Each structure stands twice: as structure tokens, then as C-alpha cells.
């Protein structure tokens, strides 16, 4: 039936043995943990330029200095995470580190911000991916949103199939991305200094024009550009992918990632500024730089394509992490329990669907524009940075050892700086959507609390302690709804009689002729069960039946009413569309009636 279609689409169920994860060395593990961070070079440089837009400043010179300051922050954050890896060799996300060092409440806040963060990672990555596509193919620029939503759909599909992140498969595009970016930066710098290529072929010298430059502007630019750091936290979350010794491999990977990220970010920023690139709504900064460097040829398309793939991989890391975090929170009683259910393919289906739905909503709500989503994303990430670094600072402080003071200072300074960046985002971008994060996190916390209290209420209500007899006797009032007198009805009548008690068959008359037919045939059955005919009110037969059953239950307040439903089951599942679903509708409607037991007696059609 439905499962056949399901298996065709999502693959056959896996066995436990197939679901084991493998451990990887640095070159392959790098692919899985670094894509998220590397993908941020697709939009970070552009954000700095955007901060200066309309500021009356010749941005290019200042922007390079802002980029250098961001590199400093990147150094601090990377060092803090290096310490996290050393202190939490089992893997420590913001949730774990904050909960252990700053208390359960702060941990829960970190959990909520991570949920927001993962959702925005998907939304930002797919919109940036769509921007990369439409930069290369401007004729489909109007389908930006559809492309982004299509990518979410693809990721949901692959995740439900349980497609594992195959590092072997992903390694070529990720390294292609790194290499093509480096080639672009080198070729670009050489061409600039030898041929003097620029986007705007304009002979202005690169001057440091200070009119209109304010401290606020600098801070905004710094905050905007710090989206380059997003994704650095992934390494410390994913120690499980590394071969032993995990800690050493993870630290080396983090170092490698930090160096690569810094070089790519600074390189692209510098090129963009040397080229005097301008912000364009239809083309990304990276695309402009690639086009000027290479021209619109195969190399250009390689840059765009590998950027797209790295962004999709980045989004996919959320499709791995979000359902796992949601399942963890659900096991702690903070989210709905069905989130812990593994599907046939050993993935958390509901978590995947929820993430897909939320990120689609975000993409649509923000018109598929990366720069509108980035402040929200940055806030989520930087709350995590702040809490993690504060946590690790407390951790180091409580366990003093020779040489641990510098680590404490790094983590503490990092926590303060990232905290400030979070606040800057919140204040500066509040009306541009940052209020959503400020609303979302408390809403998630309230949800956590409501769910936890529901579960404890239910547990109390279901406890066998102080249990007294149920309010009614069983099986004494029996109702058999019938639509006609045919073979499917006979076993139901037999079952009803076997239950004992007062049995009646009930027929709702929608058509005078049909009803007379039913009564005539009923008489032929020569049964002692009385047939009650109810008039059809309005549309359908369900309502009068429910009313009748309700009345029976009401007039026998100490007894259970058993409704025995005859139901014929067609041979093929798709034959069901050919028959009215009266039994199903009746069952659904009776679900909330108290003291009503529903018994389904099937009759299987021979063909």
C-alpha cells in the first residue's frame, strides 16, 4: 500500500548493521566539519561593503582594516574552541558547555539559540546558493525564492532517505572550492597589479576618505563582517567523526580551518576592494570578482558551482545536527516526544520535516535575500559563541593549572567581544528582523516549559497510585451502525451479540428507497436485534449517529457504550477512494466521546 510508494521514494528500510557511522582521518573529516565555516566566505565580504552603503564613505580602504579586525576576533574564537575540544573530548556544543558550567537554565537558552541557529543556517545557505546560481544565470533572477525553496526540498528528501554525509563523495567539491578560490585570489591579485583590472574602469586612487566615517559605522561594519565566523563551532560539536586520537585530529582540523578561512576571507575582501566592486542586487560580490578575474568562462562557472555545492553541504550539516539536538531535547522532556522516533532509515523524520518547514518559511518571509537573513543568523551564532566562551572561561577558572591563565583570558575576552557583537546586531538590526530572534528564543523557552509541565501532568494523571474503579460497566450497551444489510454487517452483528448486553442496530436514512430496502432485508434476517432508523439531518450520516451514541451514553451514566463498526476492506488499498469513509469519520468523531469503546469488525472483500 502506501509503504510501497514510501520505499520507492526513500529507499528500503535499513538494518541496524547498515546504520553504523565510520570514523575519518583529517582530510575527509575536514570536509564534513569545515563546509559550514568555509561557506561563509560566500557572503561575508559583501556584508562589510553593505554596512558602508550610503554612508558617504569610500568604503574600500576602511573595509580592509575592518576585515583585519575580524581576523583578530576569528583568532580569539578559534582559540576558545580549541580549548573546548581539549576540555570536552566527547564533543561539546553550546548546550553541553553552557549547561555544565553556567547552569541548566543557561544551557536551555543555549539549546534554544542553537535551534534558531540551525534553522537559519539552512535558510542563509540556500538563499546564498540561489544567489550564486542567479549570478551565473541572470535570466532566472526572478526565481530566486523558488530555487532556494527547491534546495530545501531536496535536502529534506535526501535527509529522509537517510543519505549519509559521504565524505568521500563530498571531498572533491569542497577541495575544488578551496582550490578555485585560492586560484582566483592569486590570479586576481596578479592581474590587478600587472594589468590594473577593476569592475569600474575608473582612475580614482584608492584613498582613505574620512568624511562621514563614524565609530558607529565602523562597529556596524565589524559586526556585519563577523558573519565570516559562523560555522567555526562545528568542529567541537562533531568529534565523533574523527579517528582516534579524536582530540588531536580535531584540534589540527580546527587550526587548518582557521588558517584557510582567514586567508580566503581576507583574499576575497581585498580583491573586492581593489576591484572597487559595487553592491548589486542581481550578482553576488564573489561572482563579480570571479567574473573580473577570469572572465565568464569555465573557471568562472567552477567558482560559482563549487560555492553552491559548499553552501548546500553547509545547509545539510544542519539537517544532521538539528534533528539530533531536537531528539536530545525531546528525551529531556522539553520538546514533543515523537521527535525521538527513528524512521525506517534511522533518521528522525519529524525533526527533518520541522527544520524543512521552518527554513522554507524563513526563505519566503525574507524574500530569499541573504543580507536580510544574515543579522538573525549572526545573532543565533554569536549567542552560542558568547555562552560557549563564557562557559569555557568558567571551566578553566575553576580548574586552574600552570599556563591556564592565558586560555582563561582569551575565552573571557572572546565572550565579552562576541557578546557585544550580539548586542550590536540586536540593536542595529532590531527593526530589520532581529526582533524575530529576540522573540523566538523566549517563545521556544516558553514552549519547553509548557511541554515539560504537560508531560509531568500526564504522568501524574496516569499513575496507578490511588486508582479507583472506572466509572462504568463494560459491554452492556452495544450499538451497531449499518448502512445496508450485506455480508460485512453479519460478523459485526454476531460480535455484538457475543458481547452480551443491550444490542441495537442503527441505520441513518438518507434515501427513502434505500431505507425501505434495508428494513425489508432486516426482516428477512429474522434476528432479535432491533433496527433503529434515524432521520438524516443536514449532510451525511455521521452526525445523527454521534448524537444517538451520545444520547445512549448519557442515559446510561454508569455503563460503557460499545460501538461495533462493520467495515468492508477492499482488496486493493487504492480501491478505498471508491468508497465512503463513514467508518473512518465515525471513529474519528467518537475518539473524544467519553465511555465509548469502538470495535472494528472488518470484512475482507474476496476481490
Measured from the CB atom, the residue of 54 and 470 that comes closer to its own copies is 470
Closest separation between CB of residue 473 and its own copies, Å? Answer: 9
Task: Give the CA angle between residues 499, 500, 502 to the nearest 5°.
Answer: 115
Pairing verdict, β 531-535 and 502-509: parallel
Burial of 500 (0-12, 13-18, 19+ CB in 10 A): exposed
CA distance 362 to 440: 12
Which runs of E-coded beta strand occur in 353-496? 473-481
Residue whose C-alpha cell is 583585519: 68
CA 544 to the chain's CA centroid = 44
Closest separation between CB of residue 446 and its own copies, Å? Answer: 15
Measured from the CB atom, the residue of 13 and 61 that comes closer to its own copies is 13
Residue 293 vs residues 180, 203, 246, 276, 605: alpha-carbon distances, Å: 12, 18, 40, 13, 72
Q: Which three cell numbers stand for residue 399?
A: 580548574
Closest separation between CB of residue 3 and its own copies, Å? Answer: 9
Measured from the CB atom, the residue of 192 and 603 that comes closer to its own copies is 603
Closest separation between CB of residue 501 and its own copies, Å? Answer: 10
List Cβ neighbours of 599 (8 Å cut-off, separation of 6 or more).
Answer: 495, 562, 563, 564, 565
Closest separation between CB of residue 582 and its own copies, Å? Answer: 10
* DSSP structure class, residue 242: B
Closest separation between CB of residue 462 and its own copies, Å? Answer: 4
Burial of 192 (0-12, 13-18, 19+ CB in 10 A): middle
Measured from the CB atom, the residue of 210 and 514 that comes closer to its own copies is 514
List Cβ neighbours of 537 (8 Å cut-off, separation of 6 or more).
Answer: 543, 544
The alpha carbon torsion through 229, 231, 232, 235 (nearest 10 deg) reads 180
Measured from the CB atom, the residue of 163 and 599 that comes closer to its own copies is 599
Measured from the CB atom, the residue of 106 and 485 that comes closer to its own copies is 485
Q: Which three cell numbers stand for residue 163?
A: 543519505
Measured from the CB atom, the residue of 398 and 460 that comes closer to its own copies is 460
Closest separation between CB of residue 503 and its own copies, Å? Answer: 13
Closest separation between CB of residue 288 and its own copies, Å? Answer: 23
Closest separation between CB of residue 336 and its own copies, Å? Answer: 5
Measured from the CB atom, the residue of 339 and 436 that comes closer to its own copies is 339
CA distance 440 to 565: 46
List Cβ neighbours of 138 (8 Å cut-off, separation of 6 or more).
Answer: 282, 283
Closest separation between CB of residue 263 and its own copies, Å? Answer: 40
* 474: helix, strand or coil: strand
Measured from the CB atom, the residue of 23 and 581 that comes closer to its own copies is 581
- Whether the CB-CB separation of 338 and 127 falls below 8 Å is answered with no
Measured from the CB atom, the residue of 532 and 605 that comes closer to its own copies is 605
Q: Which three cell numbers stand for residue 107?
A: 544551557
* DSSP structure class, residue 345: T
Amino acid at each position: 500500500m502506501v509503504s510501497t510508494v514510501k520505499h520507492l521514494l526513500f529507499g528500503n528500510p535499513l538494518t541496524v548493521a547498515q546504520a553504523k557511522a565510520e570514523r575519518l582521518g583529517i582530510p575527509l573529516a575536514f570536509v564534513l566539519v569545515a563546509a559550514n565555516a568555509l561557506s561563509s566566505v560566500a557572503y561575508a565580504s559583501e556584508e562589510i561593503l553593505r554596512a558602508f552603503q550610503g554612508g558617504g564613505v569610500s568604503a574600500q580602504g576602511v573595509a580592509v582594516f575592518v576585515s583585519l579586525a575580524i581576523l583578530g576576533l576569528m583568532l580569539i574564537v578559534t582559540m576558545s574552541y580549541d580549548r573546548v575540544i581539549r576540555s570536552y573530548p566527547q564533543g561539546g556544543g553550546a548546550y553541553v558547555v553552557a549547561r555544565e558550567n553556567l547552569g541548566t537554565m543557561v544551557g536551555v537558552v543555549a539549546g534554544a539559540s542553537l535551534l534558531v541557529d540551525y534553522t537559519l543556517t539552512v535558510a542563509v545557505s540556500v538563499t546564498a546558493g540561489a544567489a550564486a546560481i542567479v549570478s551565473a544565470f541572470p535570466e532566472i533572477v526572478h526565481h530566486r525564492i523558488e530555487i532556494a525553496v527547491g534546495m530545501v526540498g531536496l535536502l529534506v528528501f535526501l535527509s529522509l532517505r537517510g543519505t549519509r554525509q559521504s565524505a568521500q563523495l563530498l571531498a572533491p567539491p569542497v577541495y575544488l572550492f578551496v582550490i578555485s578560490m585560492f586560484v582566483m585570489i592569486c590570479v586576481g591579485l596578479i592581474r590587478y597589479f600587472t594589468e590594473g583590472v577593476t569592475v569600474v574602469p575608473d582612475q580614482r586612487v584608492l584613498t582613505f576618505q574620512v568624511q562621514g566615517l563614524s565609530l558607529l559605522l565602523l562597529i556596524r561594519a565589524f559586526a556585519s563582517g563577523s558573519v565570516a565566523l559562523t560555522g567555526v563551532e562545528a568542529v567541537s560539536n562533531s568529534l565523533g567523526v574523527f579517528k582516534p586520537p579524536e582530540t588531536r585530529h580535531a584540534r589540527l582540523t580546527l587550526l587548518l580551518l582557521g588558517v584557510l578561512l582567514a586567508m580566503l576571507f581576507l583574499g576575497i575582501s581585498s580583491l573586492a576592494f581593489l576591484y572597487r566592486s559595487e553592491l548589486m542586487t542581481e550578482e553576488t560580490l564573489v561572482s563579480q570578482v570571479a567574473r573580473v578575474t577570469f572572465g565568464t568562462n569555465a573557471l568562472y562557472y567552477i567558482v560559482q558551482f563549487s560555492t553552491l555545492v559548499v553552501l548546500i553541504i553547509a545547509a545539510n550539516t544542519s539537517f544532521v545536527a538539528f534533528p539530533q539536538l531536537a531528539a536530545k531535547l525531546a528525551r529531556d522532556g522539553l520538546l514533543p516526544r515523537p521527535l525521538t522516533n527513528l524512521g525506517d532509515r534511522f533518521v528522525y523524520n519529524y525533526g527533518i520535516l520541522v527544520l524543512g518547514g521552518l527554513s522554507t518559511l524563513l526563505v519566503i518571509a525574507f524574500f530569499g535575500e541573504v543580507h536580510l537573513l544574515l543579522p538573525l543568523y549572526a545573532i543565533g551564532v554569536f549567542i552560542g559563541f558568547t555562552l560557549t566562551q563564557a562557559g569555557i572561561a568558567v571551566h578553566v577558572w575553576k580548574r586552574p593549572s600552570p599556563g591556564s591563565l592565558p586560555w582563561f583570558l582569551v575565552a573571557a575576552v572572546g565572550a565579552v567581544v562576541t557578546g557585544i557583537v550580539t548586542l550590536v546586531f540586536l540593536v542595529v538590526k532590531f527593526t530589520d528582523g532581529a526582533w524575530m530572534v529576540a522573540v523566538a528564543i523566549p517563545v521556544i523557552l516558553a514552549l519547553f516549559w509548557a511541554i515539560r509541565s504537560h508531560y509531568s501532568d500526564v504522568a501524574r494523571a496516569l499513575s496507578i497510585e490511588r486508582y479507583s474503579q472506572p466509572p462504568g460497566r463494560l459491554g452492556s450497551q452495544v450499538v451497531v451502525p449499518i448502512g445496508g444489510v450485506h455480508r460485512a454487517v453479519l460478523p459485526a452483528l454476531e460480535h455484538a451479540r457475543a458481547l452480551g448486553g443491550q444490542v441495537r442496530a442503527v441505520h441513518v436514512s438518507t434515501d427513502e428507497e434505500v431505507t425501505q430496502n434495508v428494513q425489508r432485508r432486516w426482516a428477512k434476517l429474522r434476528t432479535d436485534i432491533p433496527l433503529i432508523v434515524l432521520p438524516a439531518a443536514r449532510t451525511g450520516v455521521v452526525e445523527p449517529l454521534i448524537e444517538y451514541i451520545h444520547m445512549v451514553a448519557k442515559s446510561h451514566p454508569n455503563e460503557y457504550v460499545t460501538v461495533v463498526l462493520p467495515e468492508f476492506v477492499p482488496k486493493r488499498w487504492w480501491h478505498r477512494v471508491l468508497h465512503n469513509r463513514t467508518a473512518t469519520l465515525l471513529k474519528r468523531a467518537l475518539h473524544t466521546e467519553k465511555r465509548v469503546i469502538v470495535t472494528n469488525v472488518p470484512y475482507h472483500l474476496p476481490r
